[in-house]
Structure 1
Amino acid sequence: MYSTIELKTEGRLARLTLNRPTAMNAMDDVMMKELADAFEALKSDNDVQVLIIQGEGRAFSAGGDIKKMVDPDSPMDIGKVMVDVSRLAKALYELPQITIATIHGAAAGLGFSMALGCDVIVAEENSKLAMNFIGIGLVPDGAGHFFLKERIGIPQAKQLIWSGEVMNAEAAKDKGLVDQVVPDGAIGQAAEALAQKFLSAPIAAMLASKKILHEQKIAELENVLRMESEMQVAMRQTEDHLEGIKAFVEKRKPEFKGK
């Protein structure tokens, strides 16, 4: 059914695996659409109560697929892509399940935005987390602004977005961006234990609280997604973005001019 992700259900537990391991689960236009479709399908699945989101291979997700952005043969249509990115973030926030992001390797850019949209974030100690859109002259998308603000407030969110700082799990936990740090290699076991703990709790009441807390914020989330889409389309036209992409591909330091 899906070509870039896997969605498996075991009773009340579902696992969604990002499955482009050779690209460090970087999200191309296909994966973005499939994630949006999968989350929208889960929105109407009242049998599943816990969802684990994980990455196949060496990383959770390296973020948006930059190579695909510059591919002259099949360039990504940014307007169309942003529609799916917005669908993905909104459906994730509205899920009637407890969502657990399990991070190993890298969680960067859109991959990090998606992790921040989950209810609980567990990360291996040497994982690398970064809201690093600034490195290629872009703004966070996938509701990165909204999810960061919800977790750490506006002043801290700005600092992190502007710096593009790369953090290990402990540094991210100190900032309030990660809930649990586990040793490298232990992420699968930790996620399983957490899922079982939730499933053996009065989870219907927990999910009712999630609905009460999230429902108030939907209009704000929609506004953020609309603005992110507009700004991202605008940023893609800037000289700084083109320089950032070129520098990334050429493996050199970009020279930004504020244009």
Structure 2
Amino acid sequence: MLYKTVELKTEGRLARLTLNRPASMNAMDGVMMKELADVFESLKKDATVQVLLINGAGRAFSAGGDIKAMLDPDNPMEIGDIMGDVSRLAQALYTLPQITIAVVHGAAAGLGLSVVLGCDYIIAEEEAKIAMNFIGIGLVPDGAGHFFLKERVGVPKAKNLIWTGQVLNGQAARSQGLIDEVVAEGKAAEHGELLVHKLLASPIASMIATKKILHEQKTKELERVLEMESEAQQAMRDTEDHLEGIQAFVEKRKPVFKGK
């Protein structure tokens, strides 16, 4: 199947998924969110694929949600539909019957970071910019960002990372427990390939079985988190702080929030 914003290629037991809006640093518009959900749901039905490698074209993995698209008066993003697709992609990603690898260079922010954190193994370059930065535009994490962060680092650290929107490089992200491996600048793709070959030469069926056992215990919690994120995000989209945040982003100035 052909997609507009992503590329999916299958090579035997390996699938490669590339976020492909390089001119926008792979910022996720409504089309990409829907296509990612469709891709993950299609892979759930593909028993021939055992490893999924996810990366971004161009200068970044993903800069997060497309803020400019949020402000487009000619093609407004319908928040209800968007949150439906975001929830679909997160749930399908977490329950994939493949070992998933995220290969991060440049930025992995906002929803882009939620996708990264939903993967089983994360490789990031030293100079990567990793941030759960929804707070900067008055929103809450979505794409199961709350769930995936808590799984990685626990509740106290998750709250701190969400509330501060702190930008971490690869080494700092590794020290916080957000990623599994940090590599030299320009080497993430190479290390991703090495891991793919290692996994495909392993008794990977048993690894996938372990993933299923561990993840299925948490699927009900994930579903509830996604429901709550959707409700909260729709409420936050109507706040003065959100409108100020996205306007300040476009105008390249510091936002003035009022807690409203």
**Is 2:110 the counterpart of 1:109?**
yes
Are positions 1:72 and 2:73 aligned together?
yes
Count of residues in correspondence between the two structures? 259
Aligned twin of 1:19: 20
Report the alpha carbon displacement of residue 36 of structure 1 after superposing the two structures with TM. 0.1
CA distance in 2, matches of 1:217, 1:223: 10
Looking at structure 2, the residues matched to 52 and 79 of structure 1 have their Cα atoms a distance apart, in angstroms, of 29
Q: Which amino acid aligns with 1:230?
A: E
- Superposed CA offset, 1:105-162 (max 9, x none): 0000000000000000000110100000000000000000000000000011000000
Q: How does 1:23-172 map to 2 (within 5 A)?
A: 23-172=24-173
2:54 alignment partner, SS class = strand
Q: Distance in 2 between matches of 1:58 and 1:243?
A: 28
SS class of match (1:58):
coil
Within 2, Cα distance between the matches of 1:57 and 1:220?
Answer: 35
Aligned counterparts of 1:240 and 1:41: Cα–Cα separation in 2: 37
Letter matched to residue 215 of structure 1: E
The SS at the match of 1:255 is coil
SS, match of residue 101 in structure 2: strand
Cα deviation for residue 188 of structure 1 reads: 1.2
Are 2:8 and 1:4 aligned?
A: no
Counterpart of 1:17 in 2: which secondary structure? strand
Structure 2 residue identity aligned to 1:165: Q
Whole-Å separation in 1 of the counterparts to 2:230 and 2:119: 21
Supply the distance in 2 between the matched residues of 1:187 and 1:164 (Cα, whole angstroms).
24
Q: Matched residues in 2 for 1:64 and 1:133: separation?
A: 9
SS at match of 2:178: coil
Percent identity reads 72
**How does the TM-score come out when normalised to structure 1?**
1.00
CA distance in 1, matches of 2:49, 2:125: 26
Tell me how far 1:200 sits from its aligned partner: 0.5
CA shift, 1:187, in A, is 1.2
CA distance in 2, matches of 1:184, 1:6: 24
2-side partners of 1:116 and 1:248: how far apart? 25
- Could you tell me which residue of structure 2 aligns to residue 239 of structure 1? 240
Amino acid at match of 1:238: T
TM-score between both structures, scaled by the size of structure 2: 0.99
- The aligned runs of 1:223-234 (5 Å cut-off) are 223-234=224-235
Q: Which amino acid aligns with 2:40?
A: F
Unaligned stretches of 5+ residues in structure 1:
none
Distance 1:80 1:14 in 2: 27
* Partner SS for 2:81: helix
- The code of the aligned residue for 1:54 comes to N
Q: What is the letter of the counterpart of residue 213 of structure 1? A: L
CA-to-partner distance for each residue in 1:195-226, whole Å, 9 max, x for gaps?
11011010000000000000000000000000
Aligned position for 2:213: 212
Counterpart residue identity of residue 178, structure 1: I
2:249 maps to 248
State the Cα deviation string for residues 1-36 of structure 1 (Å, max 9, x = none): 101000000010110000000000000000000000
Gaps of 5+ in 2: none
Secondary structure class of the residue paired with 1:166 = coil
Structure 1 residue runs of 4 or more that deviate by more than 2 Å after TM superposition:
none
Q: What is the rounded CA distance, in whole Å, between the counterparts of 1:105 and 1:188 in structure 2?
A: 12
